[in-house]
Amino acid sequence: MKRRSLLRAVVTTGVAAAAGAADVRSAAAATDYLIVVVEQAANQIQRFSNSTTDWNTSPEWHWSAPSTDSWKYLADAKRRLTANWDDVLVCCANGTASTGGRAAMVRESDQAVVWTAVVPGNPHSVERIDGHGAIVTASAKQRATGDSYENGGGINLFVPSTHGGLPPTSFADSISTGFPGAHGVLWDDSNECLLAIGDNELRAYRLVTISSGIITGLSKVATLAFSGTGHDLQPDYASPDILYTVGGDAGNPDHGIWKTRLTFNSAAATWTFASPARLYDWYFTKSFSRLPDGTEFWVDAPSAATWWNDTVGFSGRSDSVRTGAKFYKARFWSHVLS
């Protein structure tokens, strides 16, 4: 789903964020949208409508991860449109196997796994680069390989050798970039930059390609420093802003929900992140975003001792609850109900 297409089609009002931190949930219009969550009790990707607060009925759509060690603890899922495999869910799991976790593309229509690969470390986030077909993963742990990584994890690109093809299934064929504590990746299609977040830093990368357009590497073009572990990275579907979360509690001065945006200075040919503004002074937030009508939605853990909740929060209304669930992240599924 391309955010720039959504922004052209959606007119929003009253969505401007306050410049300072806040604890009050903002109001929003009552519009039905679809939400996708990763739920670790059943280890499923599940879809619900944001128009209901009782999520105890069967999900409108779901996919169950295989019962193997590399598929334990689903960590991320994003719906993406492809030319050759229709609508897919790109997803990843931390895994508990010595070999690491998993990344995959699951076709929405028949739930077939059209691509998957083992990812050493503990993949926390996944993305697909539109127009190139590459899959990107972010792992917080150091890799169990002999390659040269920054201590603590990094980013990997699984790049098709031909346009329209599937990515390689071997980690050895991936492109590696070190990033300590890497927790989130997002393809910014408006700027054609890959964004990544990890320990103490938000980064923007441009793709390095050969004449045929095949990706051969990443070039870091901008950074934004903060204190702590950057946990999640999402678009604001109601504005051009980028939303990111920083973990921790009062012991970390930079904890909470923040916004920024990536800009390009054509005269200087440089990329920069705008000065960040804290939206909310919240603890232990695992995911946060805004729907096109301005509704904010999030998953936060009740304490530092865990990373999940049975509740997805929404601004302007009561939260949605699924008894016994272990929601880790929530994402925007699509613009309209179908």
Confidence of residue 143 (pLDDT cuts 50, 70, 90): low
113 CB burial (10 A radius; 0-12, 13-18, 19+): middle
Confidence of residue 121 (pLDDT cuts 50, 70, 90): confident
Looking at residue 11, its pLDDT comes to 29
For residue 311, being part of any structural domain is answered with yes
For residue 19, being part of any structural domain is answered with no
For residue 17, being part of any structural domain is answered with no
For residue 318, being part of any structural domain is answered with yes
Distance CA 275, CA 189 (A): 21
**Does 6 score more than 90 pLDDT?**
no
pTM across the whole model: 0.89
Containing structural domain, residue 305: 3-12+25-334
Average pLDDT over the chain, rounded to an integer: 88
The predicted-structure confidence for 189-206, as pLDDT tens digits, reads as follows: 999 999 999 999 999 999
Looking at residue 258, its pLDDT comes to 98
Please give the tally of structural domains in the chain.
1
For residue 308, being part of any structural domain is answered with yes
* Inter-residue contact 62 to 46 (CB < 8 Å): yes
Average pLDDT over residues 62-90: 96
- How much of the chain is helix, strand and coil, in % rounded to 5? 5, 50, 45
**Does 328 score more than 60 pLDDT?**
yes
For residue 20, being part of any structural domain is answered with no
**Does 142 score more than 90 pLDDT?**
no
Distance CA 326, CA 338 (A): 26
Average pLDDT over residues 129-153: 75
* Domain CATH for 165: 2.130.10.10
Poorest-pLDDT segment among 56-65, 144-153, 248-257, 306-315? 144-153
Distance CA 337, CA 76 (A): 22
Distance CA 186, CA 202 (A): 11
Residue with tokens 């539109």: 130
**Does 18 score more than 50 pLDDT?**
no
8-state DSSP, 108: T
For residue 18, being part of any structural domain is answered with no
